Amino acid sequence: MGRPVVAILGGRGMLGTDLAAACAAKGLTVRTYDLPEFDVTDDRQLREAIGPADAVLNCAAYTNVDGAETEAELAHRVNAEAVGNLGALARQSGKWVLHFSTDFVFDGTLDRPYRESDTPNPLNEYGRSKLAGERYLDESRCAHCIVRLEWTYGAHGKSFVTKLLERARHGEMLTVVDDQIGSPTATTQVAAAACRLVESRVEGLFHLAADGYVTRFGMAGFILDRSGLEAPLHPCRSSDYAAPAVRPLNSRFDCSKIQALLDDPIEPWQGPLERFVRRLCEVSS
């Protein structure tokens, strides 16, 4: 009997790349699908991608939060309709699906960390498209697991971390919001937890983030400190920051539900972020 086959949709993106590496390290046969060769909104391509797979991991998404305000139709086609089609095909073929969603399904008004049972209320088109994708997948009645993520960063794409470091290297003045709070989460952390879910084929909805919380401004200060770069850093309020899409102020997650399934405690955000920043600085020096 051959090794289990996992199809990773969006497998060359920031999360997908680390997820593919983690699955391969676990002895799984990994097949990745991504633009430009693969379009998750194409039913024929989607059917062909999941056909040989034992499990499907969906990292494919429209992720331009501000762009979704003017490209709402495209965002919904990728983040909602394609996910519903994936669910329907998975149900027909008896495949298990792991789908990734976002903290942006919430409005961020709670004064405590968000639990899976809390009622979503997205503030922007990106959040609405991702919430619709969750619901379409649920309605498909396929075997599936949905994992909501927040504040992710990784080596294979642009993120708050990489953009901040790039601007700091150019000596730009950095103005960062100090009223948004959450958990900086490495895609390597997500990939490790996801492998555990693939092994158990668990079903349900889960929140996943690094342990602990920090404001965006506090995160920026941590990054500058660990990088050794000097750049002027100033706080501002979200209301002062001109952006097409409104962001939730509170992105804190209660991760106790998924922690119960993992072999090791979820690592606090400081360790992975420090290692990531130091690696980036070594490469660029």
In a domain, 276, yes or no: no
Cβ atoms of residues 255 and 212 within 8 Å? no
Above pLDDT 90, what percent of the chain?
91
Please state the rounded mean pLDDT for residues 78-103. 97
pLDDT band at 124 (very low <50, low <70, confident <90, very high): very high
- Amino acid 27: pLDDT: 92
Q: Contact at 8 Å (CB) between 189 and 267?
A: yes
- pLDDT tens digit string along 160-191? 999 999 999 998 999 999 999 999 999 999 99
CA distance 135 to 81: 10
Is residue 265 within 8 A of residue 211, CB to CB? The reply is yes
131 in a domain, yes or no?
yes
Instruction: Establish if 239 belongs to a structural domain.
Output: no
- Whether 114 is catalytic: no
Residue 285 lies in a domain: no
Contact 263, 199 (CB under 8 A): no
What local confidence, expressed as pLDDT, does residue 242 receive?
81
pLDDT at 283: 73
Band of residue 282 on the pLDDT scale cut at 50, 70, 90: confident
102: which strand partners? 149
Average pLDDT over the chain reads: 95
Q: 285 pLDDT band (50/70/90 cuts)?
A: low
pLDDT score of 21? 96
The confidence score (pLDDT) of residue 241 equals 81
Q: Crossing angle, helix 82-93 and helix 125-140, to 10 degrees?
A: 20
Domain contains 64: yes
Query: In the chain, pLDDT over 70 holds for what percent of residues?
Result: 99
Q: Into how many domains does the chain fold?
A: 1
Question: Residue range 139-160: average pLDDT?
Answer: 95
Give me the catalytic one of 126, 136, 153, 213.
126
pLDDT tens readout for residues 10-55? 999 999 999 999 999 999 999 999 999 999 999 999 999 999 999 9
pLDDT digits (tens, 9 = 90+) for 126-148: 999 999 999 999 999 999 999 99
Q: With 80 as the cut, is the pLDDT of residue 268 above it?
A: yes
Residue 169 counted as domain residue: no
Residue 233 lies in a domain: no
β-strand pairing of 143-149 with 96-102: parallel
- Give the structural domain span for 77: 5-158+185-211+253-267
From the number of C-beta atoms within 10 Å of its C-beta (0-12, 13-18, 19+), residue 261 rates as middle
- For 190-243, what is each residue's pLDDT tens digit? 999 999 999 999 999 999 999 999 999 999 999 999 999 989 999 999 998 888
Q: How buried is 235 (Cβ within 10 angstroms: 0-12 exposed, 13-18 middle, 19+ buried)?
A: middle
Given pLDDT bands bounded at 50, 70 and 90, which one contains residue 98?
Answer: very high
pLDDT value for 2: 65
What CATH number did the domain enclosing 93 receive?
3.40.50.720
Determine the residue type at 7: A
Confidence of residue 281 (pLDDT cuts 50, 70, 90): confident
Is position 34 within any domain? yes
